Amino acid sequence: VRLSNKVSFCFVLLFISLLTFLSEPLPWAPESLKVSINSTHQCLHLQWSVHNLAYHQELKMVFQIEISRIKTSNVIWVENYSTTVKGNQLLHWSWESQLPLECAKHFIRMRSAVDDATTPEQRFWSNWSSWEEVDVQNSLGHEPLFVFPKDKLVEEGSNVTICYVSRSQQNNISCYLEGVRMQGQQLDPNVSMFNLHNVAFIRETGTNIYCKVDRGDDIKGIVLFVSKILEEPKDFSCETRDFQTLSCTWDPGRDTGLLKQLPQSYTLFESFSGKKTLCKHKGWCNWQVAPESQEMYNFTLTAENYLRKRSVHILFNLTHRVHPMAPFNVLFKDVSVTNATMTWKVHSTGNYYTLLCQVELYGEGKVIQHNVSVKVNGELVLSGLEPDTEYSAQVRCANANHFWKWSEWTRQNFTTVEAAPSEAPDVWRNVKSVQGYCVVTLFWKPLSRLQANGEILFYNIVVEDLDRPSGLQLLSVPAPANRTELTLDQRAYQIHVTANNSVGTSPASVLVVSGDPGDEEVEEERVKGTEDGFSLSWKPQPGNITGYIVEWCDRPRDPLCDLQWKHLGPNTTSTVISSDAFRPGVRYNFRIYGISTEMVPYLLEKKTGYSQELAPSDNPRVVMSNLTSHSFTLSWKDYSTESQPSFIRGYHVYLKSKAGQCHPGSEKAVLSDDSVCCKYKIDDPKQKMFVVGNLQPESFYEFLVTPYSAVGEGPHGAFTKVTTPDEYSPMLIRIILPMIFCILLIMILCYLKSQWMKEKCYPDIPDPYKSSVLSLIKSKENPRLTIMNIKDCVPDTIEVVNKHEGTGKSPTEPEAAKPTYLYLLPAEESYSGPGPCICFENFTYNQAASDSASCGHVPVPTKAPSQLGLLTSSENLLTALEKNCMNSLEEIPAGESSLNYVSQVASPVSGDKSSLPTNPPQPELCSEYKMQMAIPLGLAAPSSSGSSSLSSITLLDEGEHYH
C-alpha cells in the first residue's frame, strides 16, 4: 500500500509539473508582436521579441509567420524566418503585399522554434501568437471612393494589383486603364481588385488609372509610373592621354523614360585606392590619376535608380591604356626634286615610354606608309619623290610597348622642286599646199606631269631648211598652246620641237616636212569598228622604218576636227584605236604613215569606218521629172553618201498604187503601217536616178526613196504623191491650142473689119441692090423677081413716129410714142381702126401683089374663111389686105419712129414650099416682118407638119383650132 501511495504521489507531482509547464509560456517563444504599415511601399513591418531569453544568451531560431487576408482562415503567406537571436533583442521582419494594404484586412501570427545544435531537445514549435489584425480602411476618411495604390512606381513587365474602396454599396463603379474599362474581382461588397500583368511603358507622365461612379461626377485615379528597365552600362573603358587624368566612358544604354520620377546615377569606385566618385555625366567620368604612380586600377561602375542597380568592372594597367595626343609641329625641310625630310614632335609622356609613329605619304594617287619609333621628336626622310609634285603627309602615334589606341592624325602638305622636262613632246603635223606654199600645222600633246617635271612655260620650234643648212628659223609658242602654223616653201624642212619649263628644256622632237605630201594615191579601205575601238592593221614596210603614225580626227564633222595621232614602233603592224570621243553613226577616217629614218612621214594606207553603224536617218531629197502617162523619173543627185551614219549600200524605191500590182523588177513590200507597195532595189549607191515605168495613165501613185545600209534602211517618212496624165491630153493640147489661136485671129480680124462686115452681112438698112441674096434667088428660082422702086409706090398713109433723139431705145418698146397715121386715101367704112396705114409693097415677095400695088402688110384675117376666096386673085387680095390692114394695125406694137420698113431678110418667099413658115401669122405677133410677109398665092397657112398640099390648107376662124 505504501508503495502504491508513493507511486501515486509521484504521478501527481509529475502531472502537476506538466500542468505548470503547459500553463506558462515556453522559453524563447515570440512575444510583444507589433505590426506597422508602410503604405507607400505596401509593406507590413513586424517587430517582436523572444520570451525569456537570457541577456547573454544567443540562439539560432526559426520563426514561422502566417499572414491571412480578409479572414484568419484565408492564409495567403507562410514563411520561416531564421535568425540568430540575442538576449532582449527586438526582431524585425517585413513583407510586401502585392495587394495594396488598404484594400483588405490582414491578419498576422507567428510561432518559434530553436534551430540550434546546442539545444537539440528544444526543436519543437512554440504556440502560435494571437492574430494581429491590420485594417487600414478604418483610417481612410469619409470620401466616397478611393483607388490604391497611390502613384506606384514599377518596372516594365511587372504585375500590379489595383483596387478601389467604395463607401457606398449602392454605387456602380467602373474603372479604366488609359480610357479602357477594366474587369475586376470583387473582394468584398465595397472593394474590387484589378490585376495588371506585364505592364508596359506608355509615357513619361505615367499610365492613368481611374475609377468613377457611374451616376455621379466623382472620379478618383492614380498614376502608375512604369519605368523601362535600367540597362547595364556597355563598353566601359578608361584611358589616359597625359598620365594625369583617366577618362572613363561607357554607353548607358536606353533611357528608362522616367528621368524625372526615377533619376539614375552613375558611380565610379576604384577598389585599390578605395576611392569613389559620383559621375556628373551619363556616359563619361574623369578620374584623377594618383600621384603615387599607381599602375593597376580596378574600377566598378554602378548605374543605379530607385528600382534597380547595375554594375560593371574593369581591371587594367595604366600604361596599357595610353592614348597619345596627336603629334604637332609637323615640318618639311631640305625639300629637293625627289627628297624631303619630315619632322614632328609628340607630347611628353615621361621618359619611360617609346611611341610608335605611323607616317602616310599621299602623292600621285599612291600611299606610302612608314613606321618610326619616337621618344620626343620624330624625323623621317622621304625619298623617291617626283619633281614638282604636291604631297600630303600625315602622322599619328601610339604606345610602342602596349598598343592601345592611335592618336589623331596630323596632316601637312609639301611640294617637291621642279626639274627639266624629261621627255620630248609628241609632235605631229598637217600639211596643206596653198598657192605654191606648204602650210604646215604642227600639233603636240602636252607633257604629262611626270614628264613635264614642272610647269611648261613655252615650246621652242626650230625649222631647219635641209637644202640650206644655214637657214634656221626659231619660233617660241607660249604654253598652254598645243599647235602652231608655219608657211614654208616647197622644200624639205626639218622641224625640232622642245618643251621648256623654268628649269630647262626637254629633248627635241624631230619631224621632216617635204614639199609633196603625196597623200592622194592610196586607196581607202573600209574597217569595222567596235565599242572598244577600231582594229587597224597594215602591211609591214620594207626598208628602214623608225615607226608608224596613225592619224585620225575625233570630230570629223567639225571643221577643226580635233586631229589625233598615235605613235607606234617600227615592228608594229596593227593597233587598236580607241577614243572616248568616238560616237556611233560617225564615219572616222584613219591614215597610217610610216616614218623613215630621215624622219619623213609618208602615207601608207587609208582606212574608214564606223565604231557602230546606224541606220540612215535621212532620206534623199528626190526630184521628179519627165512625168508621162506611163512613167516618171526620180533623181537625188545631191545626196551625199559620205555623211551618212553607215555605209550606204543602195536605195529602195517604194511605189504605192491603187492597183497594188508590182511589175517585174520590183517586189511587194509591206510597210510598218500594213500598207502594201512595190519595192525597187538599187544596189549601187552611186546610182542616184531611177525611172519608174509601167504606170497606168490617169492613176495616182505615191513613191519614197530611202537609202539602205548593213544595219537597215532610212525612215519610212512621207510618200510623195503623183498622178499620171491621160494618154490623149498631149495630143489634144496640140490640136486645141492652134484652133484657139486661129479663132482668136479671126475674131481680131472681124473686129478690125467689123464695119465692112456689117455692111456686107447685116447692114442697118438693107439695100436690095447690094444684096447678094437677091441675085442668088433671082438666078436660081425666079428670074422675074425684081426690086420694088419706092417711087412706084403711091402712099396712102403716112405713119409719123415720134422718136426721141438720143434715147437709143428699141423701137419695139411699148413706151415709145404711138405712131400717128395720116390717111392719104379715103377711109373705108369697114375699117374699124383709128387711122390709115401706109403699106409698102415688097415686090421681092410677090409679083402679083406688087402688080396690084397691094399692101404687103398682111394681118391675120379675122374672117379667114370669107377671105379665103378673095385671096385667090390679086384684086381680092388687095381688097382683103386693105380691109384687114387697119385691123392688124391695131395690134402692131407701137414705137417705131420712122416709117415701118418691110424687111426681106428672113422672108420665106422663095419657090421652095418646104421653107414656108410653119405657123400662120398671128395678130399678137404682128411685126414688121410678118406684116410685110406676103402670102404666096395658092398658099394658106401651112400645116403643122409643113408638108401639106394646097388642097388641104384651110384657114380657120379665130377660136377654131388648126387640124
Partner 1 sequence: MDLRAGDSWGMLACLCAVLWHLPAVPALNRTGDPGPGPSIQKTYDLTRYLEHQLRSLAGTYLNYLGPPFNEPDFNPPRLGAETLPRATVNLDVWRSLNDKLRLTQNYEAYSHLLCYLRGLNRQAATAELRRSLAHFCTSLQGLLGSIAGVMAALGYPLPQPLPGTEPTWAPGPAHSDFLQKMDDFWLLKELQTWLWRSAKDFNRLKKKMQPPAAAVTLHLEAHGF
* DSSP per-residue letters across 313-355: EEEEEGGGSB-PPPPEEEEEES--SS-EEEEEE-----SS--E
SS3 label, residue 765: coil
Which parts of 231-389 fold into alpha helices (H)?
Answer: none
Q: Is 241 left (phi over 0), alpha (psi -120 to 50) or beta?
A: alpha
Cα dist from 673 to 619, 620, 659, 666, 715, whole Å: 18, 21, 18, 20, 13
Q: Identify the H or E element spanning 552.
A: strand 545-553
Q: Dihedrals φ, ψ of 808, to 5°?
A: 75, 15
Please identify which residue in 77, 95, 125, 210 interacts with partner 1, judged by CB under 8 A. Answer: 210
Least distance in angstroms from the C-beta of 137 to partner 1: 18
Q: Count CB-CB contacts under 10 A for residue 446.
A: 16
- The distance of closest approach from Cβ of residue 210 to partner 1 in the complex, given in angstroms and rounded to an integer, is 7
Smallest separation (angstroms) from partner 1 to the CB of 198: 19
Q: What's the closest the beta carbon of residue 219 comes to partner 1, in angstroms?
A: 5
Binding span for partner 1 by CB under 8 A among 206-214, 529-537, 625-633, 697-705: 206-214
Residue 151 binds to partner 1 (criterion: CB under 8 A): yes
Beta carbons of 712 and 665 less than 8 angstroms apart: no
The region of 197-205, 686-694, 772-780, 951-959 touching partner 1 under the rule CB under 8 A is 197-205
Q: Tell me, what DSSP letter sits at residue 637?
A: T
Contact residue for partner 1 among 205, 245, 336, 919 (CB under 8 A): 205
- Closer to partner 1 by CB, 18 or 259: give it: 259
DSSP state of 901: P
Query: Among 455, 332, 338, which Cα is nearest to 386's?
Result: 338
Give the Cα separation of 845 and 932 in Å (integer). Answer: 9
223/956 with CB nearer partner 1: 223
Binding segment for partner 1 (CB under 8 A), chosen from 34-42, 66-74, 198-206, 898-906, is: 198-206
Find the binder of partner 1 among 6, 92, 150, 809 (CB under 8 A): 150
User: What is the rounded CA–CA span in Å between residue 324 and residue 344?
Assistant: 14
* 4, 5, 121, 179: which one binds partner 1 (CB under 8 A): 179
Considering only residues 886 through 925, tell me which ones interact with partner 1, judged by CB under 8 A. Answer: none
Q: Is 176 in the site for partner 1 (CB under 8 A)?
A: yes
Q: Which stretch binds partner 1 (CB under 8 A): 76-84, 175-183, 683-691, 832-840?
A: 175-183
* Under rule CB under 8 A, residue 203 binds partner 1: yes
DSSP 8-class letter at 739: H
Cβ closest to partner 1, residue 210 vs residue 929: 210
Strands 648-657 and 676-682: antiparallel
CA–CA distance, 803 with 809 (Å, rounded to integer): 9
Single residue of 46, 222, 285, 499 touching partner 1 by CB under 8 A: 222
Candidate segments 100-108, 214-222, 663-671, 748-756, binder of partner 1 by CB under 8 A = 214-222
Q: Please select the residue that binds partner 1; options are 43, 223, 503, 627, rule is CB under 8 A.
A: 223
Size of the site for partner 1 (CB under 8 A): 23
Report how far residue 310's alpha carbon sits from residue 547's, in angstroms, rounded to the nearest whole number. 82
Strand order in the sheet with 43-50: 30-38, 43-50, 91-96
Output the smallest distance, CB 75 to partner 1, in A: 33
Q: What is the DSSP letter of 915?
A: G
| 208 makes contact with partner 1 (CB under 8 A) | yes
Cα torsion angle, 521, 527, 531, 534, sign: negative
The yes or no reply on residue 960 touching partner 1 (CB under 8 A) is no
Stretch that binds partner 1, among 215-223, 227-235, 576-584, 712-720 (CB under 8 A): 215-223
Tell the smallest beta-carbon distance from residue 617 to partner 1 (Å).
Answer: 56
Among 13, 16, 78, 219, binds partner 1 (CB under 8 A): 219
Q: In terms of Cα–Cα distance, which of 377, 370, 373 is closest to 328?
A: 377
Is 218 a binder of partner 1 (CB under 8 A)? yes
| Comparison of 184 and 616: residue with beta carbon closer to partner 1 | 184
- For partner 1, the closer CB: 223 or 853: 223
For residue 196, CA distances in Å to 149, 184, 193, 614 come to 13, 10, 10, 78
Q: How far apart are CA 537 and CA 552, in angstroms?
A: 14
Compute the distance between CA of residue 567 and CA of residue 145 in angstroms, rounded to an integer. Answer: 104
Please tell me whether residue 207 binds partner 1 under the rule CB under 8 A: yes
362 contacts partner 1 (rule: CB under 8 A)? no
Residue 254 engages partner 1 in binding (rule: CB under 8 A)? no
Question: How far apart are alpha carbons 144 and 165 in whole angstroms?
Answer: 8
Q: Is 259 in the site for partner 1 (CB under 8 A)?
A: yes
Q: Would you say 115 or 218 has its CB closer to partner 1?
A: 218
Tell me if 682 sits within 8 A of 690, measured CB to CB.
yes
Among 201, 225, 647, 831, binds partner 1 (CB under 8 A): 225
Dihedral, CA of residue 715, residue 718, residue 722 and residue 723, to nearest 10: 120
Q: Applying CB under 8 A, which of residues 4, 5, 20, 217 lies at the interface with partner 1?
A: 217
- Binder to partner 1 among 206, 714, 895, 920 (CB under 8 A)? 206
In the bound state with partner 1, the residue whose beta carbon lies nearer, of 129 and 207, is: 207
Binding mask 743-782 for partner 1 (x = CB under 8 A): ----------------------------------------
Query: Which residues from 584-643 bind partner 1, rule CB under 8 A?
Result: none
Least CB distance from residue 249 to partner 1, whole Å? 25
Report the SS3 class of residue 304: strand
Q: Is 842 in the site for partner 1 (CB under 8 A)?
A: no
- What's the Cα-to-Cα distance from 586 to each of 536, 620, 692, rounded to whole Å? 17, 18, 33
CA distances from 637 to 15, 294, 305, 411, 598 (A): 153, 102, 98, 71, 46
CB of 211 to partner 1, least distance (A): 11
> How far apart are CB 168 and partner 1 at their closest, in Å?
17
Q: To the nearest whole angstrom, how small is the minimum distance from the Cβ of residue 282 to partner 1? A: 16
Tell me which residue has cell 377654131: 960
Residues that bind partner 1 (CB under 8 A): 150-151, 176, 178-179, 202-208, 210, 217-223, 225, 259-260
